[in-house]
């Protein structure tokens, strides 16, 4: 595989992972706005399941050499911070 192809695959993998993280954030926003409160077991189940799935995706991409481990950690940390801020904002309503 040429280095240009590898760079393109890395960029594509990171773009897809970021899109999945954004989908999780949107899903949780919709759930909090319309369906359940953060204290609800359903909310926790959805959040845990989605975060676990994303972490497995990232792990797979890291093992394939498409994403650096630190990039994956940064992506998960960013999503966790955004979700925490969303949770805090919902508690202040």
Residue 79 confidence (pLDDT): 95
The percent of residues in the chain predicted with pLDDT above 90, rounded, is: 57
Residue 37 confidence (pLDDT): 62
pLDDT digits 0-9 by tens, 14-51: 999 999 999 999 988 887 777 656 567 777 888 899 99
Cβ–Cβ < 8 Å for 14, 67: yes
Of the pLDDT bands very low, low, confident and very high (cuts 50, 70, 90), residue 9 is very high
Sketch out the chain's domains with CATH numbers: 3-17+38-91 (1.10.287.750)
Is the pLDDT reported for residue 1 higher than 70?
Answer: no
As a whole number of angstroms, the distance between CA 65 and CA 73 comes to 15
Residues contacting 90, CB < 8 A, separation 6+: 32, 37, 38
Is the pLDDT reported for residue 13 higher than 90?
Answer: yes
Residue 38 confidence (pLDDT): 59
The reported pTM is: 0.83
């Amino acid at each position: 595989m040429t280095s240009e192809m590898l760079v393109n695959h890395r960029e594509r993998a990171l773009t897809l992972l970021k899109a999945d993280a954004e989908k999780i954030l949107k899903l949780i926003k919709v759930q909090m706005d319309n369906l359940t409160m953060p204290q609800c077991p359903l909310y926790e189940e959805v959040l845990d399941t989605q975060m676990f799935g994303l972490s497995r995706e990232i792990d797979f991409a890291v093992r394939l050499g498409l994403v650096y481990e630190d990039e994956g950690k940064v992506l998960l940390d960013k999503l966790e911070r955004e979700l925490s801020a969303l949770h805090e904002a919902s508690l202040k309503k």
